[in-house]
Structure 1
Amino acid sequence: MEDYVVAEFKHVGDSELGLFAIFDGHLSQVIPDYLKSHLFDNILNEPDFWIEPENAIRKGYRITDQDILEKAVDLGQGGSTAVTAILINGQKLVIANVGHSRAVICKNGEAKQLSVDHEPTTEKESIENRGGFVSNFPGDVARVDGQLAVARAFGDKSLKEHLSSEPDVTVEIIDDDTELLILASDGLWKVMTNQEAVDAIRNVKDAWSAAKLLTDEAVMRNSTDDISCIVVTF
């Protein structure tokens, strides 16, 4: 396990923010730990956060990745994917991600994916345009330069010329039809569809119990990757 999780509420002035994230590291736990400590601070310190949160999130992601690359001597050569959710006053949900951890919302029983799975095969053209390549050798999983099985990530200085850290950002308004939000690393999504995950926990009132149910189910289905899960109920 190289995952780190954030799930907290905080008050900023008259506003309430829900901050949720899963950072799935590779090669070490150092960079996901760094993200846990710094990413949200960098986002919230952007002066336009309250006016244009989507732009602030993109800037915060960019600044954090630059910091990680500049500190590569101390932080090492590894990297991390990320999926983050910021809930503003219980009404506006802003999702961002790099990599293949995923955010799924449930409205009226229907699962809706809010993040983008950044797979090397789907971003092959942009990787090649940067001078890299996508290969299934060694192994049977597509990898950037034959090494990394995601097309976007924080860190990974040795691959950065061919690897993006630009997040996809989605805004969702919370209404009376919104039931729950799931954030999870790919160890869950490799063995469960979005709708299966939603169906499994729709009737579970306690968010912690719902998250544990999903992680236990992923283990039961023989998932062999990191499994972290956050459930937010509305």
Structure 2
Amino acid sequence: MTGKEILHKMKAVAGFSSSSDTGKGKSKQSSKHITHGFHLVKGKSNHAMEDYVVAEFRKVKDSELGLFAIFDGHLGHDVPNYLKAHLFDNILNEPNFWTYTEEAIKNAYEITDETILEKAVELGRGGSTAVTAILINGERLVVANVGDSRAVVCKKGIAKQLSIDHEPNKERRAIESKGGFVTNIPGDVPRVDGQLAVARAFGDRSLKKHLSSEPYVTDVKIDNDTEFLILASDGLWKVMSNQAAVEAIMHIKDAQAAAKHLTEEALLKKSKDDISCIVVRFH
């Protein structure tokens, strides 16, 4: 059996299927050579795929914006699908986006969450985590997140996490101050009110009194040492460290192939969750 045949058999055992979505794109700026690729694979749960991505370059005024996001839904796909359609427009429609970007993003997250809660009859009782990244003219990267989807940048071969995993135990005091509680049952992950495994999310109307939708926001410069950015849902991060993910794609120049490789690695490491991944390469 050849090496390729062995790898194909390993992938089959790991659960690879045709239930995936993939794509790629690139910056239109002639002075930049920035490419992106994404790949999603449905997990082994019985429910429909609940991960959604945004990966595109958009001309806004005199600037080019790279818009990238992972939305990881729970208890249904309507909320993450709504976020895919509306969150970036809400952010860019904020009047102070260009001058007070962090404030604008936080305000847009709050407004979007309020709308989701108002549409609970239509969108259901579920919710979604989110990690968003806005690349401004290939020079500035603004990342925001709620939940445990993660953004990791690679600089000189070293992984640096740009987001924060909003874990219930880390925010226990804030949750309890709102009248909620955090369970730590042996064999299970910590959960808000015994239900949700993240302390911040969009939606989740029944838990919202005890949950926050305020994002963590970070603003970094893209310099010559910045090699690539990874955005991924927790289906990847449950089984791979930040540094392991970076090293797995260090020498894969095609961003789409890199994103696909990461999802395949997660499956080989027995991840059972939906897995979605975006890679943005800065050349």
Indicate which of 168, 185, 196 corresponds to 1:148.
196
Match of 1:83 in 2: 131
Name the Cα RMSD after superposition. Answer: 0.9
1:184 aligns with 2:232: yes
Is 2:104 the partner of 1:34?
Answer: no
Q: Give the structure 2 partner of residue 18 of structure 1.
A: 66
Secondary structure of 2:58's aligned partner? strand
Structure 1 segments of 4 or more deviating over 6 A? none
| TM-score of the two chains, using structure 2 as the length reference | 0.82
CA shift at 1:229, angstroms?
0.2
SS of corresponding position for 1:16: strand
1:8 lines up with 2:8 in the alignment? no
The higher radius of gyration belongs to 2
Q: What are the within-5 Å matches in structure 2 for residues 50-199 of structure 1? A: 50-137=98-185, 140-199=188-247
- Determine which structure has greater relative contact order: mean sequence separation of CA pairs < 8 Å that are 6+ residues apart, divided by chain length: 2
TM-score, structure 1 normalization: 0.98
Distance 1:157 1:89 in 2: 37
Worse overlay, 134-143 or 212-221: 134-143
Pairing partner for 2:278 from 222, 230, 233: 230
CA drift of 1:182 comes to 0.1
Separation (CA, whole Å) in 1 of partners of 2:134 and 2:170: 27
Q: Percent identity?
A: 73
Contact 1:138/1:146 (<8 A) preserved:
no
Unaligned runs of 5+ in 1: none
Work out the CA distance in 2 between the residues paired with 1:139 and 1:24: 23
In the alignment, residue 111 of structure 1 is paired with which amino acid?
A
Deviations 1:8-65 (A, max 9, x none): 0000121000000000000000000000000000000001111111111101100000
Q: Which runs of 5+ in 2 are unaligned?
A: 1-48
- How much does 1:136 deviate? 2.7
